Amino acid sequence: MSCTVYLDHNATSPLRPKARDGVIAALDLVGNPSSVHQLGRQALRVLEDAREQVRVAVNAPKTAHVIFTSGGTEANTLALSGTEAVRILVGATEHASVLAARSDLECIPVDVYGRVDLGHLQSMLSEGDGHAVVSVMMANNETGVLQNIEDVVHLAHRFGARVHTDAVQAFGKVEVDFLALGIDMLSVSAHKIGGPLGVGALISTQDVQLTPVNRGGGQEGGMRGGTQNVSGIAGFGIAAKLATSDLADMTHIKVLRNQLEAGVKEIAVDAIVIAEAVDRLPNTSFLAMPGVLSETQVMAFDLAGICVSAGSACGSGKSKSSAVLAAMKMPEDIAKTALRVSLGPNNTTADIESFLSVYKDLYVRQMQKRNAA
């Protein structure tokens, strides 16, 4: 059966029609944006227009550097591998691209909800020597938990440390305000906001000094070698502009998310809505159905034409349970039953009802097996 209900927007959100139009229009451009002739200048104009659209969408200062990358992973890698900082402190529930950026990372513990322990961070900053970068994601890609970035920034800056935040999941779902947060670096990705796959950006203040990870022809202000993906970047700029203007849609999406969670708890008294008690993205639910493995649930929903996931798309195909839940000290027998549901602008009440119908059938079958055992 084909996927008729798409509930995996945290993995990739469908391409916006206007972003698609922008990609197609840019594909007709002949020039290389590094060429000085008129066709090259036309391509460069598209590139710079998109750069400005992304900068404005996150309210970064006019002097900020917007470095286009192949996605959020490369942006995170550049921020942490490209820094000359002696120490890199990262939240224990960060995306895999952050945790793999360097071999000498220091992990900041989190509480049972996945929020960084600010007291522990203060101790780490006060005890260490040398310039540091603190990297804490704005919103977790699995649980949807929102971090208090302002407090992280205030604390880190007291000790002279810079702050990077992975805003890949937050962008387009909650307000992302570079200036208000006071951060030094921020990563975003196009395909999470209805832009094309394979495009992202690292945005940094003017005084941040980085060493390029991809060396080559000096593109992106010398920070990323290689001819830019002009068509993808054009679509990214359009999607970024639309994502900020459509934030009001998240109110409706949160209502649907709450309906889904209420329905799950009515069906299964032992179901767990992970991190329900703290601020989360309005579109994200991470649900545990005790006794039913995540993979079993994903397959059951897929057979019913409903697309969900067992967690991060970057960890799909792996039998190991969520590293995020392990960092949150979630018991293994619960962690391996977690299912992520992430909604988007096109989801409806009918989609929630379809999900709950399949969920109920799966849960009832599980209860019957338990009773028969």
Q: Could you tell me which residues are beta bridge partners of residue 257?
A: none
Q: Where in the chain is the domain with CATH 3.90.1150.10?
A: 5-13+247-372
Q: Is 314 a catalytic residue?
A: yes
CA dihedral angle for residue 340, residue 74, residue 76, residue 46, rounded to 10 degrees: -100
Distance CA 167, CA 162 (A): 16
What is the rounded distance in angstroms from the CA atom of residue 296 to the CA atom of residue 314?
Answer: 19
**CATH code that applies to domain 5-13+247-372:** 3.90.1150.10
Multiple choice CATH, 17-245, 3.40.640.10, 3.90.650.10, 3.40.50.1100, 3.40.190.10 = 3.40.640.10
Tell me the per-residue pLDDT of 302-336, one tens digit each, with 9 for 90 and over.
999 999 999 765 544 444 678 999 999 999 999 99
Give tens-digit pLDDT for 281-299.
999 999 999 899 999 999 9
Distances (CA, A) of 344 to 13, 94, 193, 286, 348: 7, 23, 9, 15, 9
Residue 214: the pLDDT is: 86
- The pLDDT assigned to 372 comes to 80
* Average pLDDT estimate for 76-87: 95
pLDDT at position 367 is 83
- How does pLDDT run across 29-73, given as a tens digit for each residue? 999 999 999 999 999 999 999 999 999 999 999 999 999 999 999
- Examine the pLDDT at 110 and tell me if it is beyond 60: yes
- The answer to whether the beta carbons of residues 235 and 190 sit under 8 Å apart is yes
pLDDT of amino acid 217 = 83
Domain with CATH 3.40.640.10 in the chain: 17-245
pLDDT at 260: 98
Q: How far is CA 273 from CA 264, 284, 285, 319, in A?
A: 9, 10, 7, 21
DSSP-assigned states of every residue in 308-324: -BSS-GGGTT--SPPHH
pLDDT of residue 319: 46
Do the beta carbons of residue 209 and residue 84 sit within 8 Å?
yes
Cα gap 96→102, rounded to integer Å? 11
